[in-house]
Chains A and B, each alone.
Chain A
Amino acid sequence: AQSVTQPDIHITVSEGASLELRCNYSYGATPYLFWYVQSPGQGLQLLLKYFSGDTLVQGIKGFEAEFKRSQSSFNLRKPSVHWSDAAEYFCAVASSGTYKYIFGTGTRLKVLA
């Protein structure tokens, strides 16, 4: 069965520091992978997605993610975090033959001024 693991429930970084949020997935074939951000009281906003091709994916708000098939990972990175990045981040997986997304449990990011 497909699954997504986000090992870090909470992460705290200082403004201007770099960020990496971890995501591991379990899926037999090549998955479709997504990162979403959720601010308090808001719905989910897509940051970036990977379907195929270049394993380094650029997204909005300066985020990027790298697909590593050998490690079953799709970690999200940002070189310099801004206070407005404080939010909850969700990794999700889907397959080409299905319609549903499977989400991880999320990582809550806190940014220190």
Chain B
Amino acid sequence: ETGVTQSPTHLIKTRGQQVTLRCSSQSGHNTVSWYQQALGQGPQFIFQYYREEENGRGNFPPRFSGLQFPNYSSELNVNALELDDSALYLCASSLGGASYNEQFFGPGTRLTVL
């Protein structure tokens, strides 16, 4: 059984650029949630995708967008990057979108915005 994988591991961008982060969910899981973890903080919920539809969203601006594909892998896109977007981005997969479904986290993508 393959766990949750994310790519790339690290990424450096400049202000104003756009970035795409990728997540492959654990085998059999149909739900992906994305979190932003700033340095010294806990993860903050960005949004969740369930069966290719956005299932809920946290307090993030529209320049944070996502996709989920038929194989349930997912992308997080961030437009017009700002310095404060520098963070570890975590994705988590689960079987179902309810909070009682255990979320399995990937190792994260470290994004640095200069």
Q: CA A36 – CA B92 in complex, angstroms?
A: 13
Interface residue ranges, B against A (CB under 8 Å): 4, 33, 35, 40-45, 48, 50, 55-56, 58, 90, 92, 97-100, 102-108
Sample of 19 more A-B contacts, CB < 8 Å, known A101-B33, A101-B99: A42-B107, A43-B4, A43-B92, A43-B105, A43-B107, A44-B43, A44-B90, A92-B42, A94-B100, A95-B99, A96-B98, A99-B33, A99-B50, A100-B33, A100-B56, A102-B45, A103-B35, A103-B43, A104-B42
Is the pair A90, B102 in contact by a Cβ cutoff of 8 Å? no
> Which residues from chain A contact B55 at a C-beta distance below 8 Å?
99
Interface residues of chain B: helix, strand, loop or mixed (majority): loop
Kindly list chain B residues whose C-beta atoms are within 8 Å of the C-beta of A98: 56, 99
Partner of A43, one of B40, B56, B90: B90
Q: Give the chain A neighbours of B40 by CB distance below 8 A.
A: 105-106
